[in-house]
Amino acid sequence: MEELLQFEAVNRRFGGVLAVDGVSLAVAPGELTALIGPNGAGKTTLFNLAAGALPPTAGQVRFLGRPVTGAAAVCRQGLARTFQNIRLFSGMTVLENLLVGMGGHGFRAGSLPWPACRRAETRRRRQAWFLLERFGLGDYAERPAAGLPFGVQRVVEIARALAAGPKLLLLDEPAAGLNRTETRQLELLLRQIHADGVTLLLVEHDMALVMSLARRVVVLDCGRVIADGAPAVVRRDPRVRTAYLGGEAQ
């Protein structure tokens, strides 16, 4: 089976700082993987490399076997992402945010006279409403995104990413800023998305969520992979306890 995402001996430098150091890592279709590590370990940099927002200094990143050459290209191929700091179009409604996510906001019904354009817009809106209802956002559809509670904004951002129909969804600290109830709801939502066939790769600091949700955990420290395996195995790894979980190596 072809890997969805591959890092092949990838380095990324920022001046004299080596943020990602020789990472070789593959994500297969159907995985639910968490990427963890202390602050500054290189997790978000690795996400930016995968999403085409940054080029590697050395090595290569591939998505569906093709080199990642830019954000627009990899998005068209089926990769979507969210951000630690939510990036919604705050002046737009929730519905409009989802239409942007699927590339349909510029073709509202009636904006062009041709029947094919109107039919395409109708299909886009139908799909957007399906996602809104599926994720409990129907009551917020016509509300500006900026005025929504933080937890709801997080769900909107995930729904917008899914509106593009991705094969792989990158989630950068999706539980950041959520309370315990919202985090539990997020876990259920991500399980549902994964069950629908979307491969998930998330960066997350909430260890309870990671150990409950992920089937595979990859640990970065100082830009290098120091552990990779099932959550229970990674939890016992003395290098992980030393680098991230606060224990001491035996």
Give the integer Cα–Cα distance in Å for 70 and 50. 9
pLDDT of residue 110: 45
Q: Which residues lie closer than 8 Å to 88 by C-beta, 6 or more apart?
A: 97, 145, 146, 153, 156, 157, 160
Q: Which residues lie closer than 8 Å to 33 by C-beta, 6 or more apart?
A: 27, 200, 201, 202, 214, 215, 216, 217, 218
Query: Look-up: residue for tokens 């003395």?
Result: 238
pLDDT of residue 117: 67
Query: Is the residue at 124 inside a domain?
Result: yes
Residues 232 and 119 in one domain: no
Query: Is the residue at 85 inside a domain?
Result: no
Which of the four pLDDT bands, split at 50, 70 and 90, describes residue 249? very low
Return the DSSP state at 243. Answer: I
Residues 19 and 120 in one domain: no
Tokens coding 93:
């409604």
Residues 134 and 153 in one domain: yes
pLDDT, mean of residues 227-241: 90
pLDDT in tens, 83-98: 988 999 988 999 999 9
Residues 70 and 95 in one domain: no
Q: Does residue 60 surpass a pLDDT of 60?
A: yes
Q: Which of 194, 195, 155 is nearest to 175 (CA)?
A: 155
- Count of the separate structural domains present in the chain: 2
Comparison of pLDDT for 113 and 57, the residue scoring more: 57
Choose one of 164, 197, 217: the last residue of a domain. Answer: 164
- Which range of residues forms the domain containing residue 48? 1-78+166-250
Choose one of 164, 181, 196: the last residue of a domain. Answer: 164
Contact by Cβ (8 Å): 170, 81 = yes
pLDDT, mean of residues 222-238: 92
DSSP 146-196: GGS-HHHHHHHHHHHHHTT--SEEEEESTTTT--HHHHHHHHHHHHHHHHT
Give the integer Cα–Cα distance in Å for 163 and 155. 12
Residues 24 and 56 in one domain: yes
Lowest-pLDDT range, 86-95, 140-149, 150-159, 235-244?
235-244
Q: What percent of the chain lies above the pLDDT cut of 70?
A: 91
Choose one of 148, 164, 180: the last residue of a domain. Answer: 164
pLDDT of residue 46: 95
Query: Is the residue at 83 inside a domain?
Result: no
The total of other beta-carbon atoms located within 10 Å of residue 92's CB is 16
Q: Which of 233, 242, 231, 240 is nearest to 208 (CA)?
A: 231
pLDDT, mean of residues 206-229: 94
pLDDT in tens, 171-192: 999 999 999 999 999 999 999 9
Tokens coding 54:
């940054």
Between the alpha carbon of residue 192 and those of residues 32, 72, 213, the distances in Å are 12, 27, 11
List the 58-63 sheet strands across, edge first.
17-27, 5-14, 58-63, 66-67
